[in-house]
Every structure is written in C-alpha cells, then in structure tokens.
Amino acid sequence: MESILEKAEGYIFNLFKNDLPKTFLYHNFLHTQRVVESVKEICEASDVNDEEKEILILSAWFHDAGYIKSTENHEEESVLIIEGFFRDQPIDKAKKQKAVACIRATKFDQEPTTKLEEILKDADSSHLAKDYYNEVSELLRQEYSLQGIADYSSVAWRKENLKLFTEEHKYYTRYAIENWEPIKNKNLLKIVKKGKKRKKKRKKEDLKAKLKAKYKNESPERGIQTLYRVTLRNHIKLSDIADTKANILLSVNAIIISLALANLIPKLDAPSNRHLMIPSLILVLFSVAAIILSIMSTQPKVTGGEFTKEQVKNRKVNLLFFGNFFKMPYDRYQEAIDEVINEKEYVYKMLTKDLYLLGVVLQRKYKLLKITYIVFTIGIILSVIAFIFAFANVELAEKVAEPIISK
C-alpha cells in the first residue's frame, strides 16, 4: 500500500508538471527534491522521531507548492494546497498543524520557533552550502527576470548575494551550523574573490580606456605615422609585383630565344626551310625587344651617394634614401641624422619626398611593363600570323608546281 509520503511526492510531481509555469527555473520540482533530501540529512543526524520526520518531509514536499498560484505570499497558498491534500489522508489534526507551521516558517523574514521549523528553514536554504550554489543562484536570477520581479545585473546580483550571506541568512540547527556553515563561508569567499577580480578587471579596462584617450589626444602624429607606414609598405609591395612581372617576361622570352637558336634558326640554311626565315626573325626580334624592356624596368637608378653640410643645413637632401648617403662616412651620416631627427616637420618632409620618389619610380616601372606586355603580345601574334602565311605559301607553290612537273 502506498504511504502518505509517496502520495505526497506523486501529488507534487503532477502538480508542478501540469500547473507550474516554465518560467520557474529555480522554484521547481528539482529544488523541492533537494529540500526533501536536506531534511532527511538533518533528521538522520538529529534527535527526531519517525512521526516528526514524516511531518518534516510532508511540509518539505509542499513548502513551495503555492508558486503555481502566485509568487507573492506563496507560503499561504502552499498551506491551502497541503490542507486540501490532507482532507483525503488519514492524518491527525496535530500533525496537520505542525506541517502548516513548518511551511509558514519558510517565509524569508520569519524566525522559526520550534525544532521542526528550524530544520525545514535550514533545509530550504541548504543550497547556500552546496557545490552547485553558483548554478542555482544564476537560475534564481534568471527566474526573477522572467517573472518580472527584478532584472539584476551581474554586479547587482553579486551585491544581493553578499547581503544575503552576511546580513540576512543564518542557520539554526546544530547540524547545519557545524556542517553547512563552513561550506557556506567558502561560497561567500568565492563571491568576494569574484567581485575583486571583476573590480580589478574593470579598473584595468578603465585605465586602458583613459590611456588610449590620452594618447589619442596628445599624439595626433600617430595617425600620420600610420599613413606613412602603410603607404610605404604598399609602394614596396607594388615595386615587388612589378619586378616579379618583369622577371617572368624576361624568363619567358629568354626561353623562346634559346629554343629558337637551338632548334629553329640552324635549319633555315636548308632551301626547303627558307619560308620560315621571316616568321623566325619576327619571333626573335620581338622577344629580344621584350627582354630589353624588362631589363630597363628593373634597372636601378643610383645617385651620387654624397651630400654636403650645406645641403643638410638648408634641408635640401633626403637622408632617408640610400642613394644620397651610401658613399658618406658613418660619422658624417650620424651627425646629419642627429641634426634633423628632432625636427618633426623636416622628418615628415623627407618621408613625403621618399614616398613621392618611390611613386615616380613605380610609374616608370609600370609604364615600361605595359610597353613590354604590348611588345610581347604583338610579337606573338605577328609570329603566329607569319608562320601561317609561310606554310600557306609553301602549300600553294607545291600545288602550282605539280602540273608543271607532271608535263
């Protein structure tokens, strides 16, 4: 035969399953189960008889049942629900009254007056001394938000928890004080440490923001320096691309000339190959022209490599370009750099001139590359056309000569 405790468990399970809104992430059947287990834990270590244990477990199953009706004054709703349950159960009036008193004792601001009330009160807050406290605490915060009770930020919720641990909550039974209080204090210490870490992190982020703003306000040159750095890098990349393209053209045309000299031109002495003379010359000449233009596009232009003191004094020399100083002694170059390094305006002028001259060099390189590609393309096209005409004329001559030979 099913006991009254088993009936109570099944009753609450079905009640929460059917009537409790899904927004109750914390106050649900799992929380009720944990409270029941905590009640049993205290009872096993306390001087509690079977009848008292039964009262405590019954009140534990029903202590949060009132949430199916309302979040406000839910304890009184829980009392009405357990009284309705008792009408169909063979239980005496004294037990009913004690169970109801235990449920009412779980009110947040009510002090327990009996041993049973103390046990249920401690069991209801046993999660404060459990290793899963952080998880259930976050579920409670989300539940408050979903219910529209309060929408706490992480910082505000931490403050609420600190207030709960240090000012509003205490354990009453000897078992809870001896066994749960130390773990509760450890959880409190974790909250404090977490708050310190967040505060330290927030101070660090604020300091970074202040330094960034200060550096931004005091150093407008940073954007200018970035502009020069990025532009210089782009110029160098474009120069590398131009040199790579020129090297490719140089290599391709060198291979064409090598093949022509090794295989095609030696055979032009034969009378039967005389028709290939002009196409071969066109191919070789245009390849040679492409090679010359490729070499011109990659050919460096170096200046004198020297400067005078007057040029440095009058700011007429760009000390950043190697072509202006590679013949100078190091000491002379160091003196010139020391003289102008602290003059930002002149340094920027040198950088600007350096970028400009790089741009002039790039313009020359890409102009020659464009001409080289055009010459190479025209040479290939003319060579193919010339070879086609040469072979076509040979075939035509052979057809004309056949009747004459046969006569």
By three-state DSSP, how is residue 178 classified?
A: helix
- Is the CB of residue 162 less than 8 Å from the CB of residue 190? no
pLDDT value, residue 397? 54
**Residue tagged 């970035």 (tokens):** 226
pTM for the predicted model, two decimal places? 0.52
pLDDT of residue 218: 47
SS3 154: helix
Q: Report yes or no: 273 and 267 within 8 Å, Cβ to Cβ.
A: yes
Summarised one tens digit per residue, pLDDT across range 153-184 is 888 889 999 999 988 899 999 999 999 999 99
Per-residue confidence in pLDDT tens, the chain, 407 aa: 578 999 999 999 999 999 999 999 999 999 999 999 999 999 998 888 999 999 999 999 999 999 999 888 899 999 999 999 998 888 888 999 999 999 999 998 889 999 999 999 999 999 999 999 999 999 999 999 998 888 998 888 899 999 999 888 999 999 999 999 999 999 999 888 887 777 777 777 776 766 666 555 545 567 777 887 888 888 788 888 888 888 888 888 888 888 777 776 676 666 666 677 777 788 888 888 888 888 888 777 666 667 777 777 776 777 767 676 777 788 877 877 777 777 777 777 777 877 888 888 888 888 888 998 898 889 888 888 888 887 777 666 556 555 554 54
The 3-state secondary structure of the chain, one letter per residue: CCCHHHHHHHHHHHHHHHHCCCCCCCCCHHHHHHHHHHHHHHHHCCCCCHHHHHHHHHHHHHCCHHHHCCCCCHHHHHHHHHHHHHCCCCCCHHHHHHHHHHHHHCCCCCCCCCHHHHHHHHHHCHHHHCCCHHHHHHHHHHHHHHHCCCCCCHHHHHHHHHHHHHHHCCCCCHHHHHHHHHHHHHHHHHHHHHHHHHHHHHHHHHHHHHHHHHHHHHCCHHHHHHHHHHHHHHHHHHHHHHHHHHHHHHHHHHHHHHHHHHHHHHHHHCHHHHHHHHHHHHHHHHHHHHHHHHHHHHCCCCCCCCCCHHHHHCCCCCCCCHHHCCCCCHHHHHHHHHHHCCCHHHHHHHHHHHHHHHHHHHHHHHHHHHHHHHHHHHHHHHHHHHHHHHHHHHHHHHHHHHHHHHC
